[in-house]
A = this chain, B = another copy of it.
Amino acid sequence: MILIGVPVQYSPAILEKYRARVEDYLYVVSSVKNTEIAEAIKYHFGWLDQEGNAVSSMQGKGIRSSLCMFACESVGGVLDNALQGAAAVELVHNFSLIHDDIQDEDEERRHRPTVWSIWGVSKALQVGNYIRILSDLTVKNSVSQILDNNLTLRCTETLSEAYLETVEGQYLDLEYEGKLDITTKEYLGMINRKTGALISCALKLGALLGSADQDTVKEMSAFGRILGLVFQIRDDYLGIWGLQENTGKNVANDVRRRKNSLPIIHALQNGTPAAVTEISKTYRQDCIDEHDIERILSILNDVGTTGYMDKLANSYASSAVSLLETIKIDKVYRIELQELIAFLLKRES
């Protein structure tokens, strides 16, 4: 494995060094108005509890904003110039999380009740929409102060296009629900849109805001695509084998929710006819109980699904590392990205 020797850091430097600055900036953006919407946004980010009292710090790993800041710094840009882009991708990401939770009827995220489960679906829908506009205005109002209008337009367009792909991916994900003949190729195409587009956008925005040359912008963007796949494959792994104390969700949560995630698709394509029938039957049941979960986990074990997932994730990780060699950034930055890849391959939450 190409990343042998790279330590799996908790948490890698890249996810720590920009965090406080991005958090401060996001807090300011979210505080423009003192309304119930702003309160719900601050709750979602983790700065307020349900009663509106100030609590701990920002939730989530902040991967997208960190990558945006990192890309800007690594190409030799002025770090402050990336702040608005970093905030914008983080806002877009969190907007999609709030709508996702409505969509999936998830009552908890990051060990706390979701926005819709506190404020109701209608208000949560609007809170999501509001965050999305904050993202747009953050880029337009601020980026245009530091960059020329042409580059500002490119940044807003980059965000819109990434978001268009994200929505297409989310829609495909819904279309695939209940369809048991999805190929892994189709599935990977879907997650490339659903997850890859915005991670790629984060790096591209950072490179643009750091005034990188065209080639570097493209390479950063391509690198982000592969990173997105590595990220999502691990996400699908954790959706089945993740431990509750780490993920905040039940073991095999994706099976309970009948998610057609990568492990299930792999088993359907590679299992025995009896195994395929068993999965199909279980996914059509009104209720999936602990006994069903055990049987599905045993099928996945027989088919060797975790091995397949590992191999696939590692092969993307290798591609990412190779691509990394061609990007014109200092070695110290390259090592930081390698650490991030190692972390994404093995993360437990």
Contact = CB atoms under 8 A, between A and B. Distances in A.
A288 interface: no
A346 B36 CA distance: 36
A125 B37 CA distance: 19
Contacts of A122: 102-104, 174
Interface in A130-173: 130, 132-134, 136-137, 140-141, 144, 148-150, 152-153, 156-157, 160-161, 163-164, 167-168, 170-171
Contacts of A121: 102-103, 121
| Majority SS at the chain A contact face | helix
A126 interface: yes
Interface bracket on A: 35 or more
B164 A137 contact: yes
Nearest to A37: B171
A325 interface: no
A39 to B, nearest CB: 11
A137 B125 contact: no
A156 B140 contact: yes
A123 interface: yes
A167 B36 contact: no
Given A102-B125, A130-B167, A167-B126, A160 B174 contact: no
Contacts of A149: 148-150, 152-153
Nearest to A175: B36
A99 B132 CA distance: 14
A35 interface: yes
A129 interface: yes
Contacts of A130: 164, 167-168, 171
A134 B132 CA distance: 14
Among A122, A149, A157, chain B packs the most CB atoms within 10 A around the CB of A122
A137 B160 contact: yes
Nearest to A127: B171
A167 B123 contact: no
A167 B137 contact: no
B123 A141 contact: no
Nearest to A150: B149
Given A35-B168, A140-B153, A140-B157, 4 more contacts: A33-B168, A37-B171, A126-B171, A132-B132
